[in-house]
Each structure stands twice: as structure tokens, then as C-alpha cells.
Structure 1
Amino acid sequence: MRLHWIVAGIVVAAPLGAEGLTRAAASRFAGQVLKSVEREYPNKLDHTMAGVKDVKGPRELHPAFYGCFDWHSCVHGHWMLVRILKTFPDLPEAGGIRLALDRDLAPENIAAEVAYFVDPGHRGFERTYGWAWLLKLAAELRGWDAPEAREWARQLQPLTDAVVAQFEAFLPKLSYPNRVGVHPNTAFSLDLALDYARAAKDAKFEALLTERARTYFGKDRKGPMAWEPGGEDFLSPCLEEAALMAKVLPAREFKPWVEGFLPGLLKTGLLAPAVVSDRSDPRIVHLDGLNLSRARCLHALAAGLGPRDPRAKALEKAALEHAEAALPHVVSGNYEGDHWLATFAVQLLGERR
């Protein structure tokens, strides 16, 4: 259902997404994700087996995050549940969310996840997309001043510490960033990790992340927006980079940087939403996620320019068009998208709220 605004005495329909995360949308998304985090199969494991002893099912390997088709989707599904519970603590689904978080973040489950992470045979597991979402979950819990949130954060902390250690060991060795529209995208992972570093007041980790962002992207010019999107992208390589740099650079540095990096987009503000031809295809449905993540980045880009910049209005318009193209399809009845798209919707709408 679309929100309606009254403008000059005339009732007009506002674009989907303009109102931010509504109670009705939060309830619908929470209901879907609560079912998904408990659904073990189908499942796409990222798992290296050294022998027969390693032949195990998802729940045995990952007792905290076994659902939602894959580990990273289950992690960010839990982030979405925390964000919704924090925003709407009296939703009908609130009791189910609390039960799921109590169950899945239990100390014994997190201990098993840590053991998996530190096993040398699993080096590179979920690097760096899953790592980043785990830190985003930890940041969300840290940013919620409630006894239950503090307890869940405390229980999650051993895994959080293991992931920070993985980032700190890996990033100095990553000579070149990954500039792709899918999971290994470096800019997206740095963005989420930076949220955690700032929430945790971890100055050492924040310094590493900002140094890496500047080193990887600080000299970039003329980002190839014309090459986007790829056929299975759910992230925009250029826009994710711009959104990260809006967070890293002070305004006096960001404006000249982005003017050099996205001159065409800033000149016109024109960017057409991606067309999704088959939502039952697990790769093509990624493009719904691309429309949502593009909308989030366009909002971030407009905010980085500032409300007085005349270019921001066109970017905001493009963001709403992308949101409107994707939001009706977040829960479509196809598990290929239903197990993960609600997270991208809440990430977008929650920041708009």
C-alpha cells in the first residue's frame, strides 16, 4: 500500500520508500525472516572438507547461523530482526524475534561458530561479505541501549572479536580491492565494518579501515557507471565505493572526489532501475537487491553532497525510483529472493526513517 501525501490540497501518491520503514512493512519482513532463519534446507554451504569427518549438515556446522540458504544471509537476517525489534518493540512478531535471538546467539552456539572460524582449514570462510554482516549485527546490538541487547552483544562478542582479527590480518595483504557487484565487493564490506568500529569506539580498527578505503579508492576517477549493472549484481561497484567515501572523507574532500569519480551521474542524476526478468532465478533476482542497494547509495551520495547542493534532488529522485521498482517484490513467494531481500529493504528504509 502506497503512502499518500497532501500537496496544495491535492492527495498524491508518494513513491514507495519515501516514508521509510513502516510498521506494516516491518511486520511483514519480520514474519518472513523468522521463518527463514529456522529453515535449514535448501542450503548453499561455503565449506571446505579435509576428510570424511567434515561431512556435516548446516545446523551441525553452524548452530547459530544455519538457516536462510547460506551463512551470510542468516547473519544479516538476524541483523534485520534486531533492527526491527529495536525500532518497533511492540510488533506482533517481537516475541518470536526475542526467542530466535536467545536461541541462536546462545553462548554454546557462538563458541561453535568461533571454533569454525579459527580452524586453519576454513581460512577465507565468508571473506569479507559475511564478516562484514557479522560486524553490522554486532554494531546494531551495541547501538541499542537495552538490557537484552547488551546481553546478546556480550554473547556474540567472541565471534565479533574473531572476525575483527580476521579483518586486521587480511586487509593489509589485500593489495587490490575487489570491484565487483556481488559478495567480494571490498567497498561494501569496509562500509559495514566501519559502522562496527565506530560503534565499538575501536580507534585502531577504524584507522585501518579508513586507511584502506583511502588507499584503494582515493585516487579513483571516472568510475565506469556505463558498465553497470552486470547480469547478477546486487551491489553497484561504483555507488558502493561512493557511499563508502562519503562516510570516510570529510565534506571538503568528498565533493571534489565524487565530482571526479562520478561526473556523468552528478551532471544528470539519471540512472534507470535494473530490470528483473525472472524472480525464481537465484542469480537474476539479485537485481532486485541491486535496486535496493543502489537506492541506499544514492541517498548516501545526496547526503554527502548536502541539502543545499542542487544535484542532491535528482539523486534522491533516482533513489526513490529504484526503491519503488524493488519494494513490491521483497516477499514474492520465491525463496530465491525471499531469504535475503528483506534485509536490503530494511537497510534502505531504516536509514530513511
Structure 2
Amino acid sequence: MRGGLRLIGMGMLGVTAAVSMSAQEADFALTDAAADRFAALALKCARQEYPNKLDHVMNGAGEVKSPKALHPAFYGCFDWHSSVHGHWMLVRLLRTHPDMAKAAEIRAVLEENLAPGPLAAEVAYFDQPGRRSFERTYGWAWLLKLAAELKTWDAPEARRWSAALQPLADRVAGAFLDFLPKQTYPIRTGVHPNSAFSLDLALDYARAAKDARLEAAVLDRAQSWFGQDRRGPLAWEPGGEDFLSPCLEEAALMAKVLPRGRFGVWLEGFLPGLPGTLAPARVSDRTDPKIVHLDGLNLSRARALYDLARTFGAKNPRRAALLRSADRHARASLPHLASGSYEGEHWLATFAVRMLEAR
């Protein structure tokens, strides 16, 4: 069937891929129905306090408190950073799919959590002793990504939520400005502390907010940490609990930092022959909270590969190879987001939405 279409159902989420039998490339559509199903995963835990994995330094017996008492805005979704990026996803889906069935439910959650009172408590939490490293820098970066999404959405409710969030965004941007000059070496892990991933999201905020100081700090760290890197050890990936690719996150960041011509030279020195034989990670147990990270790795790899593909011209064979590799990674994990296991369901939808938008 040359030029024909075959539809592949993507599990419980109802995300459909239309695959051209001639080109063998997938075009994943983020429809209103799919947006509803992604949103359902975040809404399911946006007000769910337990189970909860607190990152909490207690300064005394009076700070033995429940997650909601400590974090009245971001207490759901198992941990603080997952709650924050779940809110980013809800904002993004509401912005791009205003007619989705769950729009009213999303607005209700955002009105409740992105309000001045709960967010003032979040600022106060950051200001207590022993909290300098709280959610540094992964949670910080997602908070700024949420702030950037609201700041660039010209709608009455977005302006209201953005104004309420701004004191916390200012507090986090200030934390970045204080910390980045002190961090002599980047963190090149495949989990939360990864420096390239956090710089990428912080750069989005700096540019959306026209924060010249933060943008300059991010660009300086990106250049000094990664500008001279060569021969990234992509063959060593993945680690057994990775949800980020250290090499691909670094490359995706540098694509935003360097001019197009310079980036091409840098990429050839850092990841020559990309994507080569890069294969999706195999997830053996989606009920295991660390092993299921590998579904996130497939999705974040796909998003990075789509981003890198855009740096090549339409007729460049590297572009087609990157898109094929990205599609393979996406197909490996998209059907499994609604697995029935909270270990993955509380966070993977965010990574899927970012990946689909990059596609």
C-alpha cells in the first residue's frame, strides 16, 4: 500500500499514530481526547496527598507536618517536583486545548493551588533554614517552566495565576543566580540533578521573562561546562534508573545556546554519527519506581532527538535518521503511561506531552 495509512492504537491513552507505509514515519497527534487522557493522570493525583515522598529538612519538632501543611500548592503527585510539572502540563493542555472535556476540572485545580495564599506558603518554605538545596535544581527548573508557560499566555486566568506565582518564581530565579556561579562542575547524571536539563528549562523562563541576568548566568554555565566537550559516552547509556539521557540533554541544551553553524560543529565533535544504533530502553517492571524511570528515558530521548532533528535541513539524511530514532523511542513507551501503577502514572504524562509537542 504505497502512500497508504495504517492506524496504531496507543493503549489506554487513546493517542493515535498514523504511520505512512512508504516513509515508515509516525505522526503522533495530541488531540483534545488525548489531552483529556493525559490531564486525567495529573488530575488524579493533584489533590492526592499520599503516598508522598517528602524532601524535608526539619528544624524542630514543630515542623513534623503533613505534605499539604508544608506545601499547600504542590503537595500532590507523590513529590514536590512532580506536582509542579503536573501543574505545568495542566496549564499547557488548557492553553492549547481550551475545548477539552476536562477544562473546567483543570481550572478548578489551578484556581485552588495557584492562589496567593498557598504560593506564599511555598515561598516561606524556601526561606527557612536548611532549605538551600531543596529541589535543587530539577524542581527549581520545573517551577520556572510553569512560570514561563503562564507568563507567555495572554488570558485573564493565566495573568491571575502568573501574578500569584511570580514571588515564588522570583525566589527560585534568585536561587539559581546564587547557586550557578558556585557550582564548579556540572552534574552529568541521568536522574533529577542533571545540570543540562535544568539549564534548558531555566533558559526558557529567562527568555520568556526577559530576565537578562538569569539568561546570562545560564549561557555562561552552559558554555563553560559543555562548550569544550568531545566524544560524549552515549554508548554507556542508559543507566538502570535513568529518565534523562546525559548526552542528549546536553546536546539539546547546546542547540539552544549556540548559533546554528557553531552547533553543527560542536555536535559532530560531541556525538559523531548520532543517532547510530541508539535503541529504546527496555522496561522490565512498571511497578518498580526506579525501573519505570526508563519509560521516561524513552520519552525524553525522543523529545531531545526531535529537537536535534530540527537543527538539520529538511533534505539532510541526519534529520530523517534522528526522526526515525525518536519515533522508535516514543512508540516504546507511549502505550504504557496509564499502566495502573502510581509509580509511573504520577509523572510520565508530562514527559509524553513535551515529547509530542516536540514531534
* Amino acid paired to 1:279: R
Aligned to 1:59: 68
Q: Give the equivalent residue in structure 1 for 2:357.
A: 350
Aligned residues: 345
Shift of 1:201: 1.2
> What is the CA distance between 1:143 and its match in structure 2?
1.5
1:302 aligns with 2:303: no
- In the alignment, structure 2 segments of 5+ residues that lack a partner are 1-8, 10-15
Of the three residues 302, 310, 326, the one matched with 2:333 is: 326
1:68 counterpart = 2:77: yes
Q: What is the identity, as a one-letter code, of the residue corresponding to 1:258? A: L
- Give distance in 2, aligned partners of 1:218 and 1:308: 27
- Across the aligned residues of Structure 1 and Structure 2, the Cα RMSD in angstroms comes to 1.4
Tell me how far 1:205 sits from its aligned partner.
1.1
What secondary structure sits across from 2:28 in the alignment? coil
Q: Aligned equivalents of 1:59 and 1:241: distance in 2?
A: 35
1:149-185 per-position Cα deviation (integer Å, ceiling 9, x unaligned): 1111011000000000000000000000000000000
Pairing partner for 2:169 from 139, 160, 184:
160
Q: Specify the code of the residue in structure 2 equivalent to 1:324.
A: R
**Partner SS state of residue 344, structure 2:** helix
Q: Does 1:180 align with 2:180?
A: no
**Which position in structure 1 is the counterpart of 2:264?**
255
The answer on whether the counterparts of 2:25 and 2:324 sit within 8 Å (CA) in structure 1 is no
> Match of 1:274?
281
Structure 1 window deviating more from structure 2 (202-211 vs 158-167): it is: 202-211
TM-score (norm 1): 0.95
Aligned position for 1:210: 219
Identity %: 65
Distance 1:134 1:163 in 2: 8
Separation in structure 2 between the aligned mates of residue 173 and residue 307 of structure 1, nearest angstrom: 41
Residue 148 (1) aligns with residue 157 (2): yes
Distance 1:293 1:5 in 2: 21
Deviation of 1:264 after TM superposition, in Å, equals: 3.6
Shift of 1:5: 5.3
Shift of 1:303: 1.1
SS in 2 for 1:4: strand
TM-superposition CA deviations, 1:85-117 (whole Å, max 9, x none): 001101110001000000001101000000001
Deviation at 1:216, TM superposition (A): 0.4
Are the equivalent residues in 1 in contact too, given 2:91–2:150 (CA < 8 A)? Answer: yes
C-alpha deviation, 1:6, in angstroms: 6.2
Secondary structure at the counterpart of residue 305 of structure 1: coil
How far apart are the structure 2 equivalents of 1:6 and 1:252? 32
1:138 matches 2:138:
no
Gaps of 5+ in 1: none
C-alpha separation in 1, matches of 2:120 and 2:193: 26
1:169 to 173, 178, 189: 178
- Structure 1 residue identity aligned to 2:98: P
Moved more, 72-81 or 143-152: 143-152
Report how far residue 259 of structure 1 moved.
0.2
The answer as to whether partners of 2:241 and 2:290 remain within 8 angstroms in 1 is yes
SS in 2 for 1:188: helix
Partner of 2:127: 118
CA contact (8 A) 2:17 2:29 kept: no
SS in 1 for 2:311: helix
1:13 CA drift (Å): 8.2
TM-score normalised to structure 2 length: 0.93
Partner of 1:3: 17
Q: For residue 93 of structure 2, give the secondary structure of its aligned residue in structure 1.
A: helix
